[in-house]
Chain A
Amino acid sequence: AQSVTQLGSHVSVSEGALVLLRCNYSSSVPPYLFWYVQYPNQGLQLLLKYTTGATLVKGINGFEAEFKKSETSFHLTKPSAHMSDAAEYFCVLYTGFQKLVFGTGTRLLVSP
């Protein structure tokens, strides 16, 4: 079965600290992977996507993710957290026919 697992429902960091949100996937075919962010009372916004090619993917707002096939991982990182980064983050797997499978989400908390 195709699925994604996000490790940690909540991650707390201080402003300026490294952000690391973990995601592992299971897929029987080469995966297409995404990270979406959800701010309160707003729709989901695409942060970045991996399809093929370069395994280090850069996204908006200084986020990036690295696809590691050997580890079946697609962790999201940002070198320095900002208060505005506080939100819910979803790792997403594309399963074909435009169907997306979402992880359970990780809430990022940023303290001053």
Chain B
Amino acid sequence: ETGVTQSPTHLIKTRGQQVTLRCSSQSGHNTVSWYQQALGQGPQFIFQYYREEENGRGNFPPRFSGLQFPNYSSELNVNALELDDSALYLCASSLGGPTSGSKNIQYFGAGTRLSVL
């Protein structure tokens, strides 16, 4: 059973650029959540995808968008990068839908560290 993998591990971009981060879910998981973890802070929920549809969104602007593919892997896209977007981006996968409750544990990848200069 493979765990959650994220790529790339590190990324450096300049302000105004666009970035795509990738996540492969744990085998059999159909739900992916993305989190932003700024330095010294806890992860903040960005959004979640269930069966290729967005299923909930945190307090992030529309320039943060995502996709989930039929194999349940996922992408996080950020347009018009700002300096404050510098953070560790975490992907978590789980099995279950919106009503499955906390019974389904979220399994996290190691993250992508994004630096915006």
Verify if A41 is at the interface (C-beta below 8 Å from B): yes
- When each residue 30-72 of chain A gets 1 if its CB lies under 8 Å from chain B and 0 otherwise, what string results? 0010101000011111100101000000000000000000000
B31 and chain A: residue at smallest CB distance: A98
Task: Please tell me if the beta carbons of B45 and A90 are within 8 angstroms of each other in the complex.
Answer: no
Interface of A is mostly: strand
Could you tell me which A residues sit within 8 Å of B by CB distance? 9, 32, 34, 36, 41-46, 49, 51, 90, 94, 97-105
**Complex: how many Å from CA A42 to CA B107?**
12
Chain B residues contacting A49 (CB-CB under 8 Å) are: 102, 105
Chain A residues contacting B110 (CB-CB under 8 Å) are: 41-43
B98 and chain A: residue at smallest CB distance: A97
Chain B residues contacting A97 (CB-CB under 8 Å) are: 48, 55-56, 98
Could you tell me which B residues sit within 8 Å of A by CB distance? 3-4, 31, 33, 35, 40-45, 48, 55-56, 58, 90, 92, 94, 96, 98, 100-111
**Complex: how many Å from CA A105 to CA B35?**
15
* A31 CB, min distance to chain B CBs, angstroms: 10
Task: Please tell me if the beta carbons of B42 and A103 are within 8 angstroms of each other in the complex.
Answer: yes
Known: A97-B48, A101-B45, A105-B42. A43 touches B90 (CB 8 A): yes
Task: Please tell me if the beta carbons of A51 and B108 are within 8 angstroms of each other in the complex.
Answer: no
Task: Please tell me if the beta carbons of A98 and B56 are within 8 angstroms of each other in the complex.
Answer: yes
A95 and chain B: residue at smallest CB distance: B45
**Complex: how many Å from CA A23 to CA B111?**
25
Chain B residues contacting A43 (CB-CB under 8 Å) are: 3-4, 90, 107-111
